[in-house]
């Protein structure tokens, strides 16, 4: 905690290694905020459902992957939208009870033939339109429950043929094809408060740099073509898609236009290098951060949790019951 008190990070992210019981997580969240003396500090988690769910049994419910929502009862679009919102509202209820106020959801990546399964069933559907509709439903459910969503992975990871956790993907699609397919869900949800970059090179946009460290991609695509003006964070700097040491990665992402950088491996030497490389949050980035947190609901919408769980379980015929 002394490290956090010294470097004053904007926020924190939790992983499975940080999670034991509800009481333990609540105490951890409170101690992190106390360390930087900011009761409003964002605490993030990846709670998508399916393969990416940091909180799970026996203390928390399992949730389905994004694709499961899109295939409910013969692809009924109204049912899919309703249950997607409900699932996110239930997740928000779980998170808010622990003091966690940001979920790295929804995944807005649109799969493409030959794409690596790192996205796979995390995607809500196979078309940009399906992904956009259900992505918005998920955002609405989270916000209603007092949790902010993070769009990922802007401007789109679905075509990548390799896993950016392990190596740097290169997506060779033309800018026109990217615009009508990959960018569409992000444009449709560009009013949301936060988004996370893709560690992917798009030669049609920038031949040398992945989106995370490309000023050209962030300025001309993320901010202009897509129109996203919220807080932009990098994906995890410790992923093998990026080169350079952690300090260099942090500097490159910030210089490219990321407002904040995400670092997740827990290595104190790397954490120190990232803090130095990233520098302070100020100026436009600070204003975007404040605007994002201002989107937090002061009071979650009224919600009958037991009725919501019963409806959710009925929609999935008990397949994802706790």
Q: Which residues are catalytic?
A: 165, 235
Assess whether the previous peptide bond of 106 is cis (omega < 30° from 0).
yes
Q: CA 194, CA 174: separation in Å to the nearest integer?
A: 26
Q: List the structure tokens of 290.
A: 């404040």
Strand pairing partners for 197?
A: 154
Longest dimension (CA), the chain: 54
Phi, psi of 103 (to 5 degrees): -120, 130
Helices (H), the chain: 2-7, 22-36, 66-70, 77-96, 128-144, 175-177, 184-188, 215-217, 246-256, 268-278, 283-293, 305-315
Assess whether the previous peptide bond of 58 is cis (omega < 30° from 0).
yes
Listed residue (249, 194, 241) closest to 222, CA to CA: 194
Q: List the structure tokens of 261.
A: 């950088």
Positive or negative CA dihedral for 245, 8, 214, 119? Answer: positive
Based on C-alpha coordinates, what's the Rg of the chain? 19
Q: List the structure tokens of 222.
A: 């993320």
Listed residue (41, 148, 89) closest to 301, CA to CA: 89
Assess whether the previous peptide bond of 265 is cis (omega < 30° from 0).
no
Listed residue (138, 231, 121) closest to 218, CA to CA: 231
Listed residue (264, 106, 261) closest to 193, CA to CA: 106
CA 169 to chain centre: 19
């Amino acid at each position: 905690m002394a490290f956090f008190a010294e470097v004053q990070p904007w926020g924190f992210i939790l992983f499975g290694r940080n999670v034991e019981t509800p009481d333990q997580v609540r105490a951890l969240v409170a101690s992190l905020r106390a360390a930087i003396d900011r009761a409003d500090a964002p605490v993030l988690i990846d709670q998508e459902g399916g393969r990416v769910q940091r909180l799970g049994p026996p203390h928390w419910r399992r949730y389905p992957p994004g694709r499961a929502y899109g295939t409910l009862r013969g692809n009924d679009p109204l049912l899919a939208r309703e249950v997607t919102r409900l699932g996110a509202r239930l997740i928000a209820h779980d998170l808010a009870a622990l003091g966690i106020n940001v979920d790295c959801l929804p995944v807005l990546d649109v799969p493409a033939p030959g794409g690596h399964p790192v996205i796979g069933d995390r995607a809500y559907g196979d078309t940009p339109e399906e992904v956009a509709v259900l992505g918005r439903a998920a955002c609405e459910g989270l916000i209603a429950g007092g949790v902010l969503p993070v769009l990922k992975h802007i401007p789109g990871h679905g075509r990548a043929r390799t896993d950016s956790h392990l190596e740097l993907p290169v997506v060779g699609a033309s800018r026109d094809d990217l615009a009508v397919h990959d960018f569409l869900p992000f444009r449709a949800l560009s009013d949301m408060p936060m988004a996370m970059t893709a560690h992917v090179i798009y030669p049609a946009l920038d031949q040398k740099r992945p989106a995370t460290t490309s000023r050209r991609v962030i300025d001309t695509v993320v901010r202009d073509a897509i129109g996203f003006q919220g807080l932009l964070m990098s994906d995890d700097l410790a992923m093998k898609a990026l080169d350079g040491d952690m300090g260099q990665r942090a500097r490159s992402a910030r210089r490219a236009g990321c407002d904040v950088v995400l670092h997740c491996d827990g290595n104190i030497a790397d954490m120190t290098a990232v803090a130095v490389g990233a520098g302070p949050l100020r100026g436009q980035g600070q204003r975007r951060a404040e605007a994002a947190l201002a989107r937090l609901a002061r009071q979650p919408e009224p919600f009958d949790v037991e009725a919501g769980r019963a409806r959710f379980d009925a929609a999935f015929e008990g397949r994802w019951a706790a």
